[in-house]
Amino acid sequence: MGKRRKPSAPSRARMAVLTTAVAGGAVLASGTAHAEPAPTLAAVKEQVDRLNEEAEQAIERFNGFQEKQQKLQGEANRIQEKVARGQEAMNELRTQLGVVGAEQYRNNGIDPGIQLMLDSDPASYLGRASVQDRVAGSWADLLKRAQDEQRKLDQERTEAAATLADLDAVGASLNGQKNQIQSKLAQSEALLNKLSAEERAKINAQEAADKAKAAAQQAAAAERAKAADKEAADKAKAAAAAKETAGKGGTPAPQTAAPQTPAAQTPAANTPAPVTNTPAPPAAGGRAATIVQFAYAQLGKPYGWSKTGPSSFDCSGLTGAAYRAADVSLPRTSQEQWKIGTRIGRGDLQPGDLVFFYPDLHHVGVYIGDGKMIHAPRTGKNIEVLPIGVMPYMGAVRP
């Protein structure tokens, strides 16, 4: 019976592999045990708002590409019709050239001098020769017209090919923007679907509170502006009265300030002003009234991206439709609508003006007075009245 050998000690390399495997297992176990914390409601709302804003930016780009596609398609159709008419003209000229060419071939086969000598009726020959000259002139004229028509036809075909290439490129851009929009909206919906009904209600309540706060701030700012205007008017009136008294030789009575007594503070004095009711649409008559009344009639309809009505609208689709109701044509996108008409200061806003938001001007609404607008907000929302202070205000235009 042979002598049994003792098992050898594991090598350093083998020990290193075992140690690494154990450590790796510990890391995996640790990673499994400590999952990432769920995002807070505020973080979810911020992310959803960002995705929706990015989607709206892509929607306005989509609208711009769609408008360009429609124009290019109309141009391509027009050019292709010209090409078809030019081809018909060329075919007719070729037919005429064939007839004249055959006539020349029949009559020019013999030398004219020999024909005159052999002809029994020289007068008749001279008549035919005159006809042949006219035929030759017609041939030259037809040939020149055919060359001109061919050059024009070639140019139109080149123009048509370039327009169709542009149309294909715009179509590709349109599809790219559409995919981007759908991706952003799907991400936003996925985030919201992870929330409970209670959590969604909290987000909606926060949005409502933000709107109420903006409305209260606007109301307070309007009251301050009104008080400042009244104070300036009172000072101007007092100065005019003093000047009139001095001109009559009298001595103006010294102006003594009325003693200031602190106003009694009530609990309501330190709370935000209540949200004012939505202003009523202006009475019938005038372009602005038509625009605002149309906007009021759309309240509650759903937002629909790239829609211009009548059942749903996006932001620039709504403003464009409101102005069409007043027989005014606006460009399709908010950025292009910004470029027309007269710029209006915030203090000079009137119902019917267009109000714009965000640095890239990707959102627009119809101003209705009292610091409010009617606008189409975003996917999942309905057309609503909103204080213009809720979003980053950039300016206004009166087309």
Single out the catalytic residue among 45, 362, 363, 378: 363
The DSSP letter of residue 339 is T
363 is catalytic: yes
Instruction: Return the closest-CA partner of residue 292 out of 344, 338, 351, 370.
Output: 351
Widest pairwise Cα distance in the chain: 146
Among 315, 321, 349, 385, which one carries the catalytic annotation?
315
Does the CA dihedral 113-117-118-119 come out positive or negative?
positive
- The DSSP H or E segment spanning 62 is helix 41-107
362 is catalytic: no
Cross-strand partners of 9? none
Contact partners, residue 326, CB within 8 Å, separation at least 6: 287, 288, 290, 291, 294
Compute the C-alpha angle 143/144/148, nearest 5°. 120
How far is the C-alpha of 107 from the C-alpha of 282, rounded, in Å? Answer: 86
Backbone angles phi, psi at 366, to 5 degrees: -100, 120
* Residue of 56, 375, 379, 397 marked catalytic: 375
Question: How far apart are alpha carbons 147 and 8 in whole angstroms?
Answer: 100
The Cα–Cα gap between 145 and 101 comes to 15
How many CB atoms are closer than 10 A to CB 68? Answer: 17
CA 98 to chain centre: 56
255 is known as an active-site residue: no
Cα gap 362→60, rounded to integer Å: 6
Q: Which residues are catalytic?
A: 315, 363, 375
